[in-house]
Structure formats: structure tokens, C-alpha cells
Structure 1
Amino acid sequence: MMFALAFPQIDPIAIEIGPIAIRWYALAYIAGLILGWRVCLRMTKLSPSKALTTQVFDDFVFWATLGVLLGGRLGYVLFYNPIFFFENPGKIFMVWQGGMSFHGGMLGVVMAIILFAWKRGLPLFALSDLIAFVAPIGLFFGRIANFINGELYGRPTDVAWGVVFPGGGPLPRHPSQLYEAGMEGLILFILLLLLVRSGSLAKPGVISGIFLAGYGLGRLIAEFFREPDAHIGFLVGGLTMGQILSLPMLVCGLGLAVWSLRQQRASAPTSAHER
């Protein structure tokens, strides 16, 4: 007989006051943005760019929120269910019915960073490094919210910690949301923290590159345990849509980190005996 853990019956609505209902998923977004903003304010002291003041991040919170929400929703529409939304365009903006894409949200934030840096005349990679450093905080809370909602669960398994999810049938499944919370959230944040403490903020672009590569790698691994979207299934070579979207992140992230390190070495002053 297969052992399984019972799914904790947590109401997806965290707070309900009359007709107003606030879901855990919404709180996860709010917590990620607020905590990320607060950490960025503290990190301005460590940034090599004096242009990145606390006022800059006070102003950027609005841009980041738009990037996450618009990019996340449009990413889901274009990457995961374009035919349905083409036939039902009125449902595109019904975000309360579910459907957000991290890859889309990431692209939205990248665009927000580029436009904000250009508009304010800020160093692009110095700004993106601080945003990338705090991004795993939001990822962690988001994946925990996915678990609470009983969505994006894993494939059937016989491991001792398998969970029977309400919408996943009678078989125990990998709690892949928690795997992602650990890899894309906790572990990636610790890795970036170690890099920051080793002085990597002085090498603009390295933190951004390692974040992209780290997320891409973590998502690639997690997708081997996560159940593919029912309406998409497995794609080329048995890969999932999440893996196909994560491969470019891994490659581009590693490329950015290597490029940034080479730029740093090229700009380093030549020693006396080499002149």
C-alpha cells in the first residue's frame, strides 16, 4: 500500500471581510514586493553606485508591480493558453480566475528595469543586480501559495512525503511547489547572499546573471517532478513548457555572468610590471 501525506486543508482565502476576499496568492505577491523593497533599501549601502538611493527604490516599487502583474498575465496568455484566450479575449484580464507565468513576470520586470534605468539615467546592471538579489523572496512566497492552493502539483510518486492533492486524483504526488520554493527561493537566495558578501556587487551584471542561471537550473530540475499542464503536456524531446522557457534563462544568465566578469577584468588597472 502506497504511503501518502494528507493535504493540509487550508482555505485559499486568507482574509474575508464582507464582500472583500483576499487570497493567500495575493498576499504572496504583496509580501514578495514589500520585503523585496525593504531589502533593496538596506542594500543601497552596499551598491557601488551612489545613484541608487532609497528614493529610487521607493519609486521603482510601482514599476516592478506593473511588470510582475502585466508580464505575468500576458506571459501565461501567450506561453500557456494562447488559443483559449484568442477565442475568449474578455478573460485575459480576469486574473482572479488564476493564470500567471513566472517567465512572463520576469520579462515584465526586465522591461521595467530597462525603462526605469533609461528614464532616470541609472546604471542598468547595478540596478538589476539588487532587484535580482531580492527576487527569490517573492518566488519563495509564490510557491508556498501554490501549495496552499493545491495547484501546480507534482507527478505521481511513491516517496514517503508524497501528498494527495484535492484536484490531483487518488494518487500521492510530489509536492513540487515546495521543491521549487526551496530551489528557486531559499537556496538561490542563499547563493546570491554569499556572492554579495564576497563583493560581487562590485562586478555589475554578475548577480543578475547568476540569478537567471540559478532560476533556470532550478526550474529545469523541478519540472522533472512537476505535472505538466494538462492542455499542453510534454513537448519536444519530452520537455515541458516550463523547461523550454527556462533553458534560454540558463544560457543567457551564464553568458551575462561570464561577460560581466570579463568586462571587470578588462577594466582593471594594469599592474606596474605589466606597463
Structure 2
Amino acid sequence: MNTIINWNVDSEIFWITNSFPVKYYGLFFACGLLLGFYIVKRIYIKEDIPVQDLDNLLVYIVFGTLLGARLGHCFFYEPAYFLKNPIEILLPIKKVGETYKFIGYAGLASHGGTIGVFFAILMYCKKFKVNMLWILDRIAIGVPVTAAFIRFGNFMNSEIYGKPTNGNWGVIFQKDDFIPRHPTQLYEAFSYLLIFTILFIIYKSKIAAKNNGILFGIFLTLLFLARFIIEFFKENQVDFENGMTLNMGQMLSIPFILIGLMIIIWKSSTAHKDFA
């Protein structure tokens, strides 16, 4: 049975004036952040925590996500180019004819975004004297939903797609070629939604109620393990990855997986001692 999907959606929804396009990627990114925020907000309300505290945290997280993801892409994947064009790191504009046009943040790395969020939360906790592991546990529940929407945006943009399926199934991203490929953006998106479900079930079961950090450890392990596995089906993003046994995404995922496992072991042993 032929199950090939032809995909050729325009990444730009409309233009604001002649220089600023509104793209599906940005729309899905914003929707993902808002939905993740809503999920964490419901948790705050359930636990009788002032929602104003979360409003302040959101500002830190948004800036940490965007700055970390942008710097992560520039220095993990294209350092040579951006060291020569540093202005494009935070101001992605190019001169077209006599005018400058905003070309959008086409390069955002999830590993960099994760690091950026971590440091943003660290700064927030230091300023407002809050338990960091407690916050990381709650944020970890909402983040996979945001990550899923970002991958839906990648799918709409026909980017970060997979290798050829070598069969009569897959998605043809007609902007680049006419080869049926693995829709790895969707693989990741649905994996992240599954991880959200697992984390939410664990949270509701109160297993992690008196053991701050365990949800964050599970989040790191599951999310980056999924990323590591799916990378085997994904086309390399930059040329220097072609000669590597593991690509950059996989190499960057390994430390997060190990940190997650260490947190789970640490918090599980602590819980066992408390129980004993």
C-alpha cells in the first residue's frame, strides 16, 4: 500500500509590512510556550502557589529559551559562519537591494535552549529565594508540550526532516526533493507528548511529592533519550556531521541523559533512606 504524503506548505503565513514575515514556526513556538505556561499555571493553582510568581518566572524562561537556543545553534552547528557574521546571532537581518529584511531565527538548538532555561531558572531562584529542584520538577511537566509544538513548527517549515524511508511510505518535502522521508519532526513531537503524559501521571500519583528533583531527572532522561534514538533516522543538519559516528544532536544528548540518570539515582537513594 502506498502511504506517501506530499508536503509543500508555505512556511510564511503572511507579512507585516514588506520586511517582517509571520511564520508557522514562530506561531507554533509561541503557542507551545503559552500552553506549557498554562499547564504549569494549573499546577501552581492546584498547589496554592501565587500565580504572580509564575508570571515572573515566565519572563526569565522566555529569554533563557530564546537566547540559549540561538547561541546553541550558532556555536554548536555553525560556529565558523557566525563568528564571521556576529551581528546575525541576535539580529537576523540581511540586506536585500536597498532595504534590510528580517529573515527570522531559522537556527534554534534545543540543547542550547535547555541550558538557557536552566540558567534562567537558576537566576530566578537566587533572586527570589525559591527551591530550584521544586521549580524544575514543575517546569519539566510543561516543557515537553512546548518542545512538541516547536517540532510541529519544524514540520510546517519542511525542516529537520528524516532520511529516506527507502519504501513506498513517508513524507515528501517538496521544497527540497521528491524522496519519501521519515517525518522525524512528528516522531519527536509525539514522543514529547508521550513524555508529558508520563510525567503528569507520575506527578498526579504523588510519587515525587516529597522528593524534589525526581521528575526533572526523569524528564532529562526520557526526553534526550528519545532525541538520541530519533537522530538515527534524521538527516544531518550540517556537513561536518557526515563523517561522525554519532551526530552533534546525539553527542549533546548524552550528557543530559547521564545527568538525568544521576539525579534519579541520587533522589531515589535519598527517598529510600528517608523511608528506612
Q: Is contact 1:132–1:208 with CA below 8 Å preserved after alignment?
A: yes
Going from structure 1 to structure 2, the CA distance change for 1:163 and 1:131 (only over 3 Å counts) comes to same
How many angstroms does 1:199 deviate by? 0.9
CA distance in 2, matches of 1:159, 1:207: 39
Deviates more, 1:73-82 or 1:29-38: 29-38
> 3-state SS of the aligned residue for 1:154?
coil
Match of 2:261 in 1: 254
Q: Is contact 1:4–1:172 with CA below 8 Å preserved after alignment?
A: no
CA distance in 2, matches of 1:239, 1:75: 18
Match of 2:162 in 1: 154
Q: Deviations over 1:24-59 (max 9, x none)?
A: 111122111111111111102455xx6x43111111
Match of 1:89 in 2: 86
> 3-state SS of the aligned residue for 2:165?
coil
Q: Is contact 1:3–1:162 with CA below 8 Å preserved after alignment?
A: no
- Asked whether 1:110 is paired with 2:118, we answer yes
CA distance in 1, matches of 2:139, 2:105: 28
> 3-state SS of the aligned residue for 1:234?
helix
Going from structure 1 to structure 2, the CA distance change for 1:59 and 1:231 (only over 3 Å counts) comes to same
CA distance in 2, matches of 1:264, 1:17: 54
Match of 2:248 in 1: 241
Deviates more, 1:160-169 or 1:72-81: 160-169
CA distance in 1, matches of 2:26, 2:208: 31
How many angstroms does 1:176 deviate by? 0.8
- Normalised to the residue count of structure 2, the TM-score between the two structures is 0.89
Q: Deviations over 1:237-261 (max 9, x none)?
A: x111100001111111111112112
CA distance in 2, matches of 1:261, 1:150: 42
Identity of aligned residues (%): 34
1:17-96 mapped onto 2 (5 Å cutoff): 17-19=16-18, 20-47=20-47, 52-95=49-92, 96=104
1:202-221 mapped onto 2 (5 Å cutoff): 202=209, 203-221=211-229
RMSD value, Cα:
2.0
CA distance in 2, matches of 1:114, 1:156: 41
How many angstroms does 1:166 deviate by? 2.5
- Asked whether 1:189 is paired with 2:196, we answer yes
Unaligned runs of 5+ in 1: 271-275
How many angstroms does 1:194 deviate by? 1.5
Q: Is contact 1:24–1:145 with CA below 8 Å preserved after alignment?
A: yes
Deviates more, 1:109-118 or 1:95-104: 95-104
Match of 2:9 in 1: 10
How many angstroms does 1:169 deviate by? 2.4
How many angstroms does 1:227 deviate by? 0.2
> 3-state SS of the aligned residue for 1:233?
helix
CA distance in 2, matches of 1:33, 1:97: 16
- Normalised to the residue count of structure 1, the TM-score between the two structures is 0.89
Aligned residues: 263
Amino acid aligned to 1:61: L
Amino acid aligned to 1:24: Y
> 3-state SS of the aligned residue for 1:162?
strand
How many angstroms does 1:231 deviate by? 2.2
Q: Is contact 2:70–2:108 with CA below 8 Å preserved after alignment?
A: yes
Q: Is contact 2:24–2:153 with CA below 8 Å preserved after alignment?
A: yes
CA distance in 1, matches of 2:264, 2:243: 29
Going from structure 1 to structure 2, the CA distance change for 1:106 and 1:97 (only over 3 Å counts) comes to closer
Match of 1:273 in 2: none
